[in-house]
Amino acid sequence: MFHFFENLVDPYVDYPQQDRPPRRLWAFFREYSVPFKRVFVLAGTMSIVVAAIEIGLIYYLGRIVDLLSTGSAEMWERHGTELILVALFVLLIRPLLQGIDVALLNNAILPNFGTLIRWRAHRQVLRQSVGWFENDFAGRIANRIMQTPPAAGEVVFQVFDALSYSLAYLIGAAILLTSSDWRLLLPLLIWFGLYICLVIWTVRRVGPASKAASDARSQVTGRVVDAYSNIHSVKMFAHHDREVDFAREAIEEARRTFQVEMRIFTLMDVTLVALNGLLIVGVIGWALVLWMAGEASTGVVAAAATLTLRLNSMTAWIMWALSSFFRQLGVVAEGMETIAQPIHLTDEPTARPLKLHHGELRIKGLTHHYGRESGGLQNVDLTVKPGEKIGLVGRSGAGKSTLVKLLLRFYDAEAGKILIDGQDITALRQDSLRRHIGMVQQESSLLHRSVRENILYGRPEASEDEMIAAAKQAQAHDFILDLKDAEGRRGYDARVGERGVKLSGGQRQRITLARVILKNAPILLLDEATSALDSEVEAAIQETLYGMMQGKTVIAIAHRLSTIAQMDRIVVLDQGRIVEQGSHEALLAQRGLYAEFWDRQSGGFLTMDEVS
């Protein structure tokens, strides 16, 4: 039975991805609810049926009281069959209908709706550009991805479990009281009017208060995760107390916003108790007046009393459900600030895969300042011939990393073009472009997975032998065999920790190199590829790198100039412009900026004067 309800909706069903998802709350829900339309209709119908049954039972209780008050000894003979049928309905049919209602909510909607939102939200966020991620806390992004689905699920749950049920129940209650004596409806209507006023007052305050509290909780998560992610820096600079105070500031704001939210609920609860007193006295008191006047039967009084006490117990639940509904809407609205952000760096509708013939790179008038007035690149022209090896040199901030990021299309250039074999990269599919480029970064970052998974990230379909061959070429195989993690996994199965923290910098770099070697892309970008290696390993890796470069178009960034002295051409950047280019010998002969760097370097590095 469970499998039937659990499989009514496939949370991973295909859907058209949007670069500009809905930014309004109800449009957001409507978009994500499309696969659930049929189930939502069924759930709403069953909620009304269950409420009608509850009202019917209260009505029948009044009928039984009337039958008993007649004192008839022939009650069983006259009504026995009716009583048996009602008993069978209560014992068999009612649990079945209630079970369907609960299964639709608990098994068909809740697990699948949250899963669908989390799956689609994660897919959407992963499509964002590198620059988008650089402008936010990873912890806050992850927190919103994790807290939005259960909040959205709670919204849907309250719609069908509480709101539609309670609305149907109130309508049924009004019908029941009217059928007994229309005057009994008056105190219910007066109470209902006041109750709606309380609901409106609560809702107007709960939504903004809940969003503020949710924002504050996300800020706490962002600051805490930021400290944990940079725990080495925290410990190295002995800033434990500073981080505690930094987190406390956000925690205190979260407490303050939560206090504001809870004050609303306290006022709501006190007012609700007073209103429910008015309901009980009004309906039951009026029913007693009618009974004493001989205008209402004992059964009517019993039904009115039961209904009123049931409403009394329900109102707190309904108000809590409404408050939860709007509080969770606030959480969803806060999550939408991340999930529903438009994707600016997109593929054109006509984007095609990169067709690499020779590997020529041509850069024309490339300008990019990250939206600022300075920094980045300014009007750069550069052609890298197929198979040519280029060394890129310059002070920090000269634009070297910007050029690499633009080549990978992590950003769209503000002006100019990048062509690969005559194809503008903005007209290419991003995934196709990046599959043809291998990149080794200065700060090697690994996934918190096994060594095997990290190396195979370069080419997932590679065989075990190919993966091991790449590790050997990167001088990594021997130390990998000696690895063991806390769970006892060894060798290539050992986990490397978050961002590879369990490994040394040199070990991380060699695994990164193995990954790029396995990828075997025709265009190779190296950003300080050997900076984390000791001299002995670097010498071996340099030989590996030169082997990797054969037949590839290469751009290598280096502060250690000796590592790029053998390149076909060296390009010198300064303040975002190319100021020199040529072979190592030719640039030394020019006695320009490159010669200055070479003369002033110490141990193969640029001096602090040059990189500041």
The CA angle 585-379-131, to the nearest 5 degrees, is 105
Residue 165 reports pLDDT greater than 90: no
Gap between the terminal Cα atoms of the chain: 68
Q: Is residue 550 a part of any domain in this protein?
A: no
Q: Mapped to the 3 state alphabet, what secondary structure does 382-440 carry?
A: EEECCCCEEEEEECCCCCHHHHHHHHCCCCCCCEEEEEECCEEHHHECHHHHHHCEEEE
Q: Is residue 583 a part of any domain in this protein?
A: no
Specify the range with the lowest mean pLDDT, choosing from 187-201, 211-225, 533-547: 533-547
Residue 462: predicted pLDDT: 94
Domain that holds residue 47: 2-339
Residue 391: predicted pLDDT: 92
Q: Across the strands, what pairs with 390?
A: 555, 569
> What tokens were used for 210?
């809940």
Higher-confidence residue of 307 and 15: namely 15
Most confident of 49-58, 203-212, 303-312, 511-520: 511-520
> Average of pLDDT values for 555-564?
82
CB under 8 Å, gap of 24 or more: what pairs does 543-550 form?
544/473, 544/474, 544/475, 544/513, 544/517, 545/513, 547/473, 548/516, 548/517, 548/524, 549/389, 549/524
Q: Which residues contact 439 (CB under 8 A, 6 or more apart)?
A: 404, 408, 516, 524, 525, 526, 527
Classify residue 267 by burial, with Cβ atoms within 10 Å: 0-12, 13-18, 19+: middle
Condensed to tens digits (0 to 9), the pLDDT of residues 64-121 reads 877 777 666 677 777 788 888 988 998 999 899 989 999 998 999 999 999 999 999 9
Classify residue 274 by burial, with Cβ atoms within 10 Å: 0-12, 13-18, 19+: exposed
Residue 237: predicted pLDDT: 79
Residue 132: predicted pLDDT: 86
Residue 534 reports pLDDT greater than 80: no
Residue 325 reports pLDDT greater than 90: no
The CA angle 417-422-423, to the nearest 5 degrees, is 70
Residue 330 reports pLDDT greater than 50: yes
Alpha helices by DSSP H, listed for 159-239, are 164-180, 185-229, 231-236
CATH number of residue 104's parent domain: 1.20.1560.10
Sign of CA dihedral 150, 152, 158, 159: negative
Residue 533: predicted pLDDT: 60
Q: Is residue 381 a part of any domain in this protein?
A: no
Residue 606 reports pLDDT greater than 70: no
Residue 608 reports pLDDT greater than 50: no
Closest of 505, 461, 458 to residue 479, by C-alpha: 505
Which pLDDT band, with edges at 50, 70 and 90, does 256 fall under? very high
- Report the helix count and the strand count for the chain, using DSSP H and E: 23, 10
Which pLDDT band, with edges at 50, 70 and 90, does 454 fall under? very high
Q: Across the strands, what pairs with 523?
A: 437, 553
Contact 25, 329 (CB under 8 A): yes
Residue 460: predicted pLDDT: 92
Mean pLDDT, all residues of the chain = 85
Specify the range with the lowest mean pLDDT, choosing from 184-198, 399-413, 522-536, 556-570: 522-536
Residue 71: predicted pLDDT: 64
Contact 62, 181 (CB under 8 A): no
Condensed to tens digits (0 to 9), the pLDDT of residues 479-498 reads 999 998 888 899 999 998 87
Cα distance between residue 514 and residue 88, in whole Å: 71
CA 457 from chain center: how many Å? 22
Residue 300 CB coordination number (10 Å): 22
Q: Is residue 136 a part of any domain in this protein?
A: yes
Cα distance between residue 573 and residue 170, in whole Å: 75
> Average of pLDDT values for 548-568?
84
Burial 75-109 (b: 16+ CB within 10 A, else e): eeeeeeeeeeebeeeeeeebeebeebbebbbebbb
C-alpha torsion 361→367→370→375, nearest 10: 110
> Average of pLDDT values for 251-276?
87
Q: Is residue 146 a part of any domain in this protein?
A: yes
Burial 219-255 (b: 16+ CB within 10 A, else e): bbbbbbbbbebeeeebeeeeeeeebeeebeebbebbe
Cα distance between residue 131 and residue 187, in whole Å: 61
Helix pair angle (37-69, 75-88), 10° resolution: 160
Residue 501: predicted pLDDT: 76
Specify the range with the lowest mean pLDDT, choosing from 10-24, 176-190, 252-266, 384-398: 176-190
Cα distance between residue 220 and residue 216, in whole Å: 6
> What tokens were used for 238?
């002995």
Residue 508: predicted pLDDT: 85
Helix pair angle (298-339, 164-180), 10° resolution: 160
Residue 38: predicted pLDDT: 93
Residue 23: predicted pLDDT: 85
Sign of CA dihedral 157, 161, 166, 171: positive
Residue 609: predicted pLDDT: 44
Q: Is residue 406 a part of any domain in this protein?
A: no
- Confidence (pTM): 0.74
Residue 52 reports pLDDT greater than 90: no
Q: What is the number of domains present in the chain?
A: 1
Residue 73: predicted pLDDT: 62
Q: Is residue 481 a part of any domain in this protein?
A: no
Q: Is residue 447 a part of any domain in this protein?
A: no
Phi, psi at 128, each rounded to 5°: -70, 160
Higher-confidence residue of 482 and 305: namely 482
Residue 607: predicted pLDDT: 45
> What tokens were used for 157?
């749950």
